[in-house]
Amino acid sequence: MNHSISTPDYMNVDDLRAMQLKKLQKLVAYEYERVELFRRRCDEKGVKPSDIVTLADISKLPFMKKTDLRDEYPYGLTAAPMKEIVRFHCSSGTTGKPICIPNTMNDIKVWQDATARSLAMYGITDEDVLQVTYGYGLFTGGLGLHYGGEALGCAVLPIGGGNTEKQLMLMRDLGVTAIACTPSYFLRIADVARQMGIDFRRDTKLKHGIFGAEPWTEEMRRKIEEEAGIIAHDIYGLTEISGPGVAAACEHSNGLHVFEDHYYPEIIDPETLEPLPDGEKGELVFTTLDRFGTPMIRYRTRDLTRIHTEKCKCGRTMRVIDRISARSDDMLIIHGVNVFPSQVETGLLRVPEVAPHYQIIVTPTDTLDLLEIKVELKPEIFAEDVTNLEQIRKNTFNAVKNIIGISPKITFLPPQSLPRSEGKIKRVIDNRK
């Protein structure tokens, strides 16, 4: 069977920019006509659809934010008539009340195209057996990877999250070669595999992990690859912009290619809201060039990254963003210092004796806030009669402090003490809120 997915990944850059401009002009005119909030904001700024003459003119347009989706809930930002809407998705609600996005069939097809191209980028083909362990339903992970996998011709196992022993049994019995889930749930699967005596290398055909939906670090990627003998690929996306597959990592990129023919990226300074040139770090903003159900124009993701200036060795012309190591919502301010959970993770995973299971707890005290990091020791370390625990604690303290600049209290826990997650994990408990 010939599984046709589009392959604009290598498009000539001038042609790509011309295509983006055309799509942007069409989208802005469409949105201006149909979405009152957008029209009102454009009018306030004195900008009309006909003012979009070059791609740089996008900066004349107003931004959209998550609060707009909440304020205009449920249909205020929906541009298409109900007869064209075929499916709803809602965000996970990691940062508050979830938002709902009505999609048209075309929106679903565009998303499926990007997800299939992500899988193809990882070297996955119609020979692969893909276990979709992301949750199905309102969350975009499950159905997103499901349709992308089918479009590529993979044999898809739509198991969804949970029931870890069954996940492992089917993985082994069906010869699963690729699994898609959150990196934190894969850690849980690896734990249970160990308990069941399953060795991924020996007992399964697993080659690819497709991990996303939450921030994870380069250190975590290496750890997973070493432990499971697989390639851990990064996939990024968000419900507002469609779902997973907005950007995906190729083997050379050291970041993720954005499928720019569908999703136009900008980086802005989150304080001044001015666009930043490629290369500078700031907040990622997207315009959904091909979505007409609930189009997003200059949507502020609150995710922090930069767009690379150098071309990727793979030859794709789609621009590359740094791996999303932090969402600005996750930023903790402790003793006046900005701390991201991913920085703590990077420090912790440099210590060979600790396991990748941790929790960050911030508690107010009479003097300064206390930053406590609870982290599990590796089972093999814990099993030994550790005499050098104080040394390991000192190393862990230093590894974290060197990155975040403030002194954490390190508490070691036995294996399996901290809660595990089947979807996005919650690693931070902020008792100041």
Structure tokens, 83: 């007869």
**Burial category of 406 from C-beta neighbours within 10 Å (exposed 0-12, middle 13-18, buried 19 and up):** middle
Query: Nearest approach, Cβ of 161 to ligand ADP (angstroms)?
Result: 13
Residue 318 binds Zn ion (CB under 5 A) = no
Question: Residue 394's CB: how many other CB atoms inside 10 A?
Answer: 12
Can you list the alpha helix ranges (DSSP code H) found in 258-412?
A: 341-348, 379-383, 389-404
| Interaction between residue 317 and Zn ion (CB under 5 A) | no
Residue closer to Zn ion (CB basis): 221 or 300? 221
Nearest to Zn ion of 312, 425 (CB atom) = 312
Interatomic CA distance for residues 110 and 137, integer angstroms: 19
312 part of the interface to Zn ion, by CB under 5 A? yes
Reference 395, options 343, 367, 353; nearest CA is: 353
Between 181 and 247, whose beta carbon lies closer to Zn ion?
Answer: 247
Among 21-29, 234-242, 309-317, 374-382, which window interacts with Zn ion (CB under 5 A)? 309-317
Q: Which is nearer to ligand ADP, 93 or 364 (CB)?
A: 93
Measured from the CB of residue 233, what is the shortest distance to Zn ion in angstroms? Answer: 12
Shorter beta-carbon distance to ligand ADP: residue 185 or 236: 236
Helix axes 13-34, 36-45, angle to 10 degrees: 110
φ and ψ at 371, to 5 degrees?
-105, 110
Q: Report what 95 binds from Zn ion, ligand ADP, none; CB cut-off 5-8 Å by kind.
A: ligand ADP
Of the ranges 84-92, 126-134, 307-315, 382-390, which one interacts with Zn ion (CB under 5 A)? 307-315
DSSP states along 392-421: HHHHHHHHHHHHHSSPPEEEEE-TT-SPP-
> Coil, strand, or helix at residue 300?
strand
For the CB of residue 300, give the shortest distance to ligand ADP in the complex, in Å: 10
Asked if the bond preceding 74 is cis, omega within 30° of 0, the reply is yes
* Distance of closest approach, residue 234 Cβ to ligand ADP, in angstroms: 5
Contact of residue 301 among ligand ADP, Zn ion, none (CB under 5-8 Å per partner type): ligand ADP
For Zn ion, the closer of residues 252 and 335 by Cβ is 252
Query: Which residues have CB under 8 Å from 423's CB, separation 6+?
Result: 92, 134, 135, 139, 141, 161, 182, 185, 213
Task: Using the minimum distance from each CB to ligand ADP, give the nearer residue, 94 or 416.
Answer: 94
Least distance in Å: CB of 130 to Zn ion?
A: 22
Does residue 289 belong to the site contacting Zn ion (CB under 5 A)? no
Q: What DSSP character marks residue 82?
A: G
By the criterion CB under 6 A, which residues form the site for ligand ADP?
A: 91-95, 212-215, 234-239, 301, 303, 324, 327
Contact positions vs Zn ion (CB under 5 A): 250, 252-253, 312, 314, 316
